[in-house]
Amino acid sequence: MSETEKTARRGRSTRSTTVSYFRLTAVDIDRIAQTVAKKLRERTLREAYLVHSATYYAARGSSGQGAGNTVVLLPAEKCPSYAQFRYWASKTCRSGKP
């Protein structure tokens, strides 16, 4: 086995090669800060993420069976992940932004 074959197998593959992340804009970061400021007093961070996703990254419609409106989240590549939400929530809370 050559030296390059040995080094090629070391470690695990990076997460960025397997998952495509949503690129957050300044508007997205401000929305996260607003959601955290409003919702974190009464909810957990995971619940605040779900409310945030349903508010800003969902398609609304009716199911046609009398169940009322349904919320369908956009695909993962079109909305921020929970890890991104958690990162920006902690960063904006520490910096004093609402």
Identify which of 44, 32, 28 has the alpha carbon closest to the alpha carbon of residue 93: 32
This prediction has a pTM of 0.65
| Among 74, 78, 86, 73, CA closest to 20 | 78
| pLDDT (0 to 100) of residue 98 | 45
**CA angle 56-97-24, nearest 5°?**
40
Q: Which sequence spans correspond to the domains of the chain?
A: 21-93
Local confidence pLDDT in tens for the 98 residues of the chain: 555 555 555 666 655 555 567 888 899 999 988 888 887 778 889 999 999 998 898 887 665 665 567 778 888 888 999 999 999 999 887 655 44
Taking the C-alpha atoms of residue 14 and residue 45, their distance in angstroms, rounded to an integer, is 26
Closest CA to 31 of 12, 51, 14: 51
